[in-house]
């Protein structure tokens, strides 16, 4: 079935995908609840093995977002307290190898150099990383969870859902930043949001109108060309 896909549809979908970037400074302009619901409704068209739909989303705005941000930030700013928090699942490898470590370093330094943060400037690095916990001032903070009975396959499904959220946001002129930074503080999130014991925090996400004047939002990350990651067996 070809549900009336025209060249305009192709261009619009590609534009939404290509224009998605992780943005790290937002305007206070609110996002109507109806728009958030619409984004989540369309994102939930993501496929999932046997239609299990493993995603759960906590939508934070106003005082609820502020309360979570403050609680996490307090822990982040206190070295002894920060050391008491760790991720519930491993997002990154424990052993870093090339080319992954090179790409990771490049995006980090590209961001810091745009912001004029030097390699030894630990205080400003701490401050910049801490902006995660304010959802980069976005008016909407999303916390995504998954039931701990679900297996690796459901995490694949989850990634598709997350990408749909980001692309659907783009299609409405909104921007996002997915955030693993929240996972370290899952115990605080559990307490603040009253999560069920079977919910694992997958990640957070900022959602809103990007600040076009913010220098960090000019960061454009690189990609390998197709020839670098695809091998055609003919
Ligand atoms: C699941 C996930 C978690 C991420 N966590 C963070 C984060 O905590 N903070 C942050 O600033 N960026 C985070 N990022 C953004 C990545 O750094 C970004 O996707 C990558 O550098 C590519 O850039 P782009 O999204 O602009 O294309 C995350 C991305 C993903 C997919």
- Which one of 1.10.3720.10, 3.40.50.300, 3.40.50.720, 3.40.109.10 gives the CATH number of domain 22-89+134-214? 3.40.109.10
Atom of ligand 1 nearest to the CA of 91: 1
pLDDT digits (tens, 9 = 90+) for 164-204: 999 999 999 999 999 999 999 999 999 999 999 999 999 99
Residue 81 pLDDT exceeds 70: yes
Residue 27 pLDDT exceeds 90: yes
Ligand 1: residues within 6 Å at CB?
A: 21-22, 24, 107, 132, 177-181, 203, 221
Domain assignments of the chain as residue spans, ordered by start: 22-89+134-214
**22, 177 contact by CB (below 8 A):** yes
Residue 1 pLDDT exceeds 60: no
> 3-state SS string over the chain?
CCCCCCHHHHHHHHHHHHCCCECCCECCCCCCHHHHHHHHHHHCCCCCHHHCCCCEEEEECHHHHHHHHHHHHHHHHCHHHHCCCCCCCCCCCCCCCCCHHHHHHHHHHHHHHHCCCCCCCHHHHHHHHHHHHHHHHCCEEEEEEEECCCCHHHHHHHHHHHHHHHHHHHCCCCEEEEEHHHHHHHHHHHHHHCCCCCEEEEEEEEEECECCCCHHHHCCCCCCCHHHHCCCCC
Distance 2 CA to ligand 1 centre (A): 33
Distance 21 CA to ligand 1 centre (A): 9
- Give me the pLDDT at residue 2, please: 62
């Amino acid at each position: 079935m070809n549900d009336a896909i025209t060249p305009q549809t192709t261009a619009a979908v590609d534009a939404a995908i290509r224009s998605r970037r992780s943005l790290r400074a937002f305007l206070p302009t609110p996002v109507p609840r109806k728009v958030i619901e619409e984004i989540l409704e369309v994102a939930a068209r993501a496929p999932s093995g046997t239609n299990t739909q493993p995603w759960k989303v906590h939508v934070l705005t106003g005082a609820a977002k502020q309360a979570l941000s403050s609680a996490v930030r307090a822990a982040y700013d206190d070295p002894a307290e920060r050391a008491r928090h760790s991720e519930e699942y491993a997002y990154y490898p424990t052993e870093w190898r090339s080319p992954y470590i090179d790409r990771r370093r490049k995006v980090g330094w590209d961001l810091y150099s745009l912001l004029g943060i030097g390699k030894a400037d630990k205080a400003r690095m701490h401050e910049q990383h801490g902006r995660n916990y304010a959802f980069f001032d976005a008016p909407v903070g999303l916390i995504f969870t998954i039931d701990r009975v679900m297996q690796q396959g459901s995490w694949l499904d989850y990634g598709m859902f997350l990408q749909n959220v980001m692309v659907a946001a783009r299609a409405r002129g909104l921007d996002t930043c997915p955030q693993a930074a929240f996972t370290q503080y899952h115990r605080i999130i559990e307490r603040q949001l009253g999560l069920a014991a079977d919910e694992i925090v997958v990640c957070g996400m900022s959602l809103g109108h990007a600040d076009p004047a913010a220098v960090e939002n000019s960061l454009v990350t690189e990609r390998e060309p197709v020839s670098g990651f695809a091998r055609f067996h003919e």
